[in-house]
Amino acid sequence: MNWIKALVTLGVSAVLAACGGGSPLPGTSGGGTTGTASVSLSLSSITVTSDAPVTVTALVKDAAGAVVAGKVVTFTTVGTLGTFSPSTALTDSAGIAVVKLAPKSATTNGADAVLATVTVNAVAVTATVGFTVIPASGTVGTPSISLLLSTSSITTTTPATVTASVKDANGSPVPGQVISFGSRAGLGTFTPASALTDANGNAVVSLRPASPTTTGADLASASVTFNNSSVLSAIQGFQVAITNADLILTTSSSTIADSGSGAVVVTVKAIDANRNTVAGVPVGLTVDAGAVITGAAATTDSTGTVTATVTTGADLSNRLVTVTATSGSVLRTATIQVTGAKISSSLVPAVIAKSTAGQILYRVVDGAGNAMANQSVQITATGLTPSSVSATTGANGDYAFNYTSPGLDGSYAVTAVIAGKSDTQSLLVQSAGVVPDAVGPINAASVAANPSVVAVNLSGSQANRSEIRALFLGANNLPIQNVRATFDLNGDVNSVRGSFTTGTTTLYSDANGVASTSYVPDSRSSPTNGVTVRVCYGVKDSDLTGCPTFKLVTLTVTSEPLGVSIGTNELIIVNTLTYVKQFVITVADSSGAAMADVNLVASVDLPNYRKGVYAVSGGKWVKQGLLPAGDSAVCLNEDVNRNGVLEAGEDTNNDGQLWPRKPDVIVSLLQSKTGSDGTAILQILYAKDHGSWVDALITVSASGVSGSEGRATYLSAPVPVDAASITNVASPPAFVVSPYGKAALCTDPN
- Decide if pLDDT at 418 tops 60: yes
| CATH architecture assignment, domain 246-339 | Sandwich (2.60)
- Decide if pLDDT at 116 tops 90: yes
High-pLDDT (> 70) share of the chain, %: 91
pLDDT at 585: 96
93-114 in b/e burial notation, b at 16+ Cβ within 10 A?
ebbbbbbbbbbbeeebbebbbb
611-641 confidence digits (pLDDT tens): 999 999 999 999 999 998 999 999 999 998 8
Per CATH, the number for 342-429 is 2.60.40.1930
149-190 confidence digits (pLDDT tens): 999 989 888 899 999 999 987 888 999 899 999 999 999 999
Per CATH, the number for 2-133 is 2.60.40.10
Q: Which residues pair with 571 in a beta bridge?
A: none
- Classify 444-558 by CATH class: mainly beta
Domain boundaries, the chain: 2-133, 144-240, 246-339, 342-429, 444-558, 563-727
Cα–chain center distance at 691: 29
Q: Do domains 2-133 and 144-240 have the same CATH topology?
A: yes
pLDDT at 4: 36
Q: What is the pTM of this model?
A: 0.46
- Decide if pLDDT at 17 tops 50: no
549-562 confidence digits (pLDDT tens): 999 999 988 765 56
Of 712, 722, 718, 713, the residue nearest 696 (C-alpha)? 718
Burial class (CB in 10 A: 0-12, 13-18, 19+), 712: buried
High-pLDDT (> 90) share of the chain, %: 61
Of 255, 257, 261, 289, the residue nearest 640 (C-alpha)? 257
- Decide if pLDDT at 1 tops 50: no
CB atoms closer than 10 angstroms to residue 589: 15
Angstrom distance (rounded) from CA 216 to CA 222: 20
Angstrom distance (rounded) from CA 469 to CA 712: 23
Average pLDDT, rounded, for the chain: 87
The fold adopted by the segment(s) 144-240 is Immunoglobulin-like (2.60.40)
